[in-house]
Amino acid sequence: MLSLQNIEKIYRTDTIETLALQNINLEVAKGEFLSIMGPSGCGKSTLLNIMGLLDAPTGGAVSFENEALTGFSDKKLSQFRNQKIGFIFQSYHLINDLPVLDNVELPLLYRNVSGSERRRLAQEALEKVGLSNRMKHYPSQLSGGQKQRVAIARAIVGRPHLILADEPTGNLDSAMGNEIMEILEQLNRDDQTTIVMVTHDENMAKRTHRLVRLFDGSLVSSNSFYNA
Amino acid sequence: MLSHILKLIWKKKKSNFLMMLEIFVSFLILFAVWSLSVYTYRNYANPTGLSVDRVWTVYLNFNTENDTLRQQYRELVSRHLKSVPEVEHYSFTSSNMPFGFSSSNGEFSYEGKAVLSEVMFVGDDYPAVMGMSFGPGRWFQPNDTIGGIVPIVITQCLATALFGNEEPVGKIIKEEESTKKVVGVAPYFRHKSSYQSVGNCAFQPLSKWDTDLLLKVSASATADFEARLARSIEQLGKDWTVEVQHMDDMRDTQDNTIEIPILILFVICAFLVFNVGLGMFGVLFQNISRRKGEIGLRRAIGATERQIQFYFIGETVVIAGFGLVLGVFFAVQLPLLRVFDVAAGVYLWGIALALVSVLLISVLCAFYPSMQAARIYPAEALHEE
Ligand SMILES: Nc1ncnc2c1ncn2[C@@H]1O[C@H](COP(=O)(O)OP(=O)(O)OP(=O)(O)O)[C@@H](O)[C@H]1O
Ligand SMILES: [Mg+2]
């Protein structure tokens, strides 16, 4: 479903050049649950951003569902992100001035979906993460785990093929983290959503199908677990 | 999308309130300036009903208190002017001649209505001197005064004020000391400045103390001729003083007294609006840098650069819209309550032009910050929080 060939990413500022990724070759299969681990600063988020078409690699090629995405316009890439990809972040990135339901609806605002349909889909997504009773709340009235569940609902409301999660349990205690992990597992199992997750937690990683390790911008190992 | 923007604005109403207030105040200022401009322009666009081309004002002082002498002197000057070929027409006038600095008002009453009007005392050849256009009726003639009736010519404006739609020519206005009869109507006579509104003016035959003089001179009249003429009139009597002014200069002087304050108002207004624009610009920039995370998120979930830019412009326009709705509410009270005697159309133009200007300024001020917002690198923006 997602294929990275010879990906290289160099951050250039006026004075320094940082080689964040080099020589990355990675295939993510449809329906796979992949985890990425590695020490801080090794390039995990950078890799995820490239997978999510939020950032362009300085070298190499990305293809998504057998379509090479090099040289695509901003409009086309945005459309891709909107329809095919869902993002989950460590710091949730909810809009604090909007109630939960509106936060979840957000991706549908950038599609041609009627207001009532948006509402219905968002309610459905919130049901999936068990937050139907918090629709009118504001993010500041929720716990960390609940916020992340809202973020997951927002990520799945548009029925994406791929979910990219950057340390989704990083800010949560183990019980809450476990809850989030269960939701992700369920999405992967029941809806065949492909998931790529960055984590610092070995136990979380072990619950996925495959773990790749990143060190200093390069892939160093790949373990497969046969949890599936 | 609109309800989405409205929700966000409502949640941030405290910080948006200031911007709304600025827009509201700017609107009112622009409304006032535009209304004044439209009002002034509309007046200016009316026919003047007179021509100042080659018209000279001669301020004549015979230096006598004796009315009989004064009339004799007037005759003397008349005879002299008839012999000067460069003087095409002339007329004596009261001192409130067009574009001068004095004014003299009288009250006219007809069927219980009392109307105030400028009253000018002038000679028989006055319409030729002033190049006046003429409506129904005619100018007064020497034998009109027979029977103690004073013939008058009035502007259409005064005629309408007094007689409504009735035919004004032939109407008699009875007053305590005299009886006046309307013999003619001048459609326009805007004599105070180029920007004067269409107003009331009445003309009646000279009284015994009117000694100022208006001349229509030929195209060949030079400055040299002017000096010679002044001297030749002075020499007709003893201790006479003569001062000549060109009426186009007098008009320009009067116009300046209107143009300059408007110009100053424009500059002040431009300065204010510029400051408001700058303020909006700053607030937007601050807003956008505070909302980087949100922008990154919107980009991640599928907003294009263009959509981000339009989103922020849209937010500004909606906030401005609230200020404008409030502004329009207050602005329409002026025509509704008839606070000033100004046509409602002037206010409507003022409102429309102020609306367009404020929206234009808002969009212009929002354009650049919003473009910057659109250019924010989503990966970086998401990283920052
Ligand atoms: N915008 C940027 N400009 C310059 N260098 C950057 C930028 N973003 C990341 N880097 C550098 O690229 C490298 C990889 O960063 P990245 O955020 O991908 O690490 P990470 O593995 O996600 O770390 P963490 O576990 O702390 O989140 C780091 O050395 C970082 O300093
Ligand atoms: Mg990271």
Q: Which residue of B has its CA nearest to A86?
A: B301
- How far apart CA B325 and CA B342 sit, in angstroms, is 23
* Backbone torsions φ then ψ of A212, nearest 5 degrees: -115, 145
Mean pLDDT along residues B237-262: 94
Predicted local distance difference test score (pLDDT) of residue A97: 92
State the average pLDDT for chain A.
Answer: 93
Using one digit for the tens of pLDDT, what is the confidence trace for A21-41? 999 999 999 999 999 999 999
Probe target for ligand 1 pocket from A9, A12, A22, A44, with the most ligand atoms within 8 Å of CB: A44
Predicted local distance difference test score (pLDDT) of residue A107? 96
pLDDT at A228 over 80: no
For chain A, what is the radius of gyration of the CA atoms? 17
Helices A144-156 and A174-191: angle between axes, nearest 10 degrees: 20
Give the dihedral of Cα atoms A204, A206, A207, A210; nearest 10 deg: 120
CB B95 within 8 A of CB B212: yes
Provide mean pLDDT across the span B146-172: 93
> B258, B193 in Cβ contact below 8 A?
yes
Average pLDDT over residues A116-121: 95
Q: Which residues of A touch B377 (CB under 8 A)?
A: 55
Question: Which atom number of ligand 1 is nearest to the Cα of residue A43?
Answer: 18
Instruction: Judge whether residue A226 has pLDDT over 70.
Output: no
Confidence of residue B339 (pLDDT cuts 50, 70, 90): confident
Model pLDDT, residue B170: 92
Residues of B in contact with A89 (CB under 8 A): 382
Which pLDDT value is given to residue B13?
84
**Which chain A positions have a beta carbon within 8 Å of B385's beta carbon?**
91, 93
Quick check: A227 pLDDT over 80? Answer: no
**A19-23, A95-99, B6-10, B311-315: segment of lowest average pLDDT:** B6-10
pLDDT at B348: 95
pLDDT on residue B2: 83
When pLDDT is averaged across residues B138-160 and rounded to a whole number, the result is 90
Exposure of B131 by Cβ count < 10 A (0-12 exposed, 13-18 middle, 19+ buried)? middle
Task: Work out the percent of chain B whose per-residue pLDDT is above 90.
Answer: 75
Looking up tokens 């208190």, which residue turns up? Answer: B65
The chain-wide mean pLDDT, for chain B, equals: 92
Q: Would the CB atoms of B382 and A78 count as touching at under 8 Å?
A: no
Residue identified by tokens 């424009």 is B266
When pLDDT is averaged across residues B14-32 and rounded to a whole number, the result is 91
Residue B135 pLDDT level (bands cut at 50, 70, 90):
confident
Q: Please, which residues have CB within 8 angstroms of residue A142's CB and are 6 or more apart in sequence?
A: A100, A134, A150
3-class DSSP assignment, residue B186? strand
Q: Which protein residue has the closest C-alpha to ligand 1 atom 3?
A: A11
Burial class (CB in 10 A: 0-12, 13-18, 19+), B80: middle
Instruction: Please enumerate in sequence order all residues whose Cβ is within 8 A of that of A57, keeping only pairs 6 or more positions apart, or say none.
Output: A7, A8, A9, A21, A50
Task: Using pLDDT thresholds of 50, 70 and 90, give the confidence band for residue B3.
Answer: confident
Give the pairing type, strands B55-61 and B241-246.
antiparallel
- B3–A115: do the CB atoms touch at under 8 Å? yes
Exposure letters B47-70 (e unless 16+ CB within 10 A, then b): ebbbebebbbbbebebebeeeeeb
Q: Is A15 in the pocket of ligand 1 (CB under 6 A)?
A: no
Ligand 1 near A46 CB (within 6 A): yes
B12-22 pLDDT, tens digit each: 888 889 889 99
| DSSP-assigned letters across all residues of chain A | -EEEEEEEEEEE-SS-EEEEEEEEEEEE-TT-EEEEE--TTSSHHHHHHHHTTSS--SEEEEEETTEE-TT--HHHHHHHHHHHEEEEETT----TTS-HHHHHHHHHHTTT--HHHHHHHHHHHHHHTT-GGGTT--GGGS-HHHHHHHHHHHHHTT--SEEEEESTTTTS-HHHHHHHHHHHHHHHHHH--EEEEE-S-HHHHHTSSEEEEEETTEEEEEEE----
Tell whether the model's pLDDT for residue B238 goes beyond 90: no
Share of chain A above pLDDT 70, in %: 99
- Is residue B195 within 8 A of residue B38, CB to CB? The reply is no
Report pLDDT for B385: 56
Do B119 and B205 meet the contact criterion of CB atoms below 8 Å apart?
no
For residue A163, the model assigns a pLDDT of: 96
- What confidence score (pLDDT) does residue B42 get? 95
| Structure tokens, A60 | 């190499």
User: Following CA atoms B126, B83, B230, B98 in sequence, which dihedral angle do they give, to the nearest 10 degrees?
Assistant: 10
The predicted pLDDT at position B32 comes to 94
- What ipTM was reported for this prediction? 0.93
Decide if pLDDT at B308 tops 70. yes
Residues facing B117 on adjacent strands: B106
For residues A122 and A108, the answer to whether their CB atoms sit within 8 Å is: yes
Nearest CA to ligand 1 atom 25: A40
Between CA B133 and CA B152 the distance in angstroms is 16
pLDDT at A148 over 80: yes
Domain boundaries, chain B: 2-45+254-384, 63-239
- Give the model's confidence band at B327: pLDDT under 50 very low, under 70 low, under 90 confident, else very high: very high
Cβ partners under 8 Å of residue B53, min gap 6: B131, B248
pLDDT band at B384 (very low <50, low <70, confident <90, very high): low
> In B187-256, which ranges are E strands?
201-205, 212-217, 241-246
pTM here? Answer: 0.83
Cα separation, B297 vs B381, in Å, equals 8
Q: Does A112 have pLDDT greater than 80?
A: yes
Tokens of B135: 């409506």
Are A86 and A160 within 8 A, CB to CB?
Answer: yes
- Looking at the DSSP assignment, which residues form a beta bridge with residue A67? A64
* Structure confidence at residue B148 (pLDDT): 83
Most confident of the following: A190-194, B147-151, B172-176: A190-194
Q: Please give the structure tokens belonging to residue B47.
A: 């026919």
Residue B359, SS3 per DSSP: helix
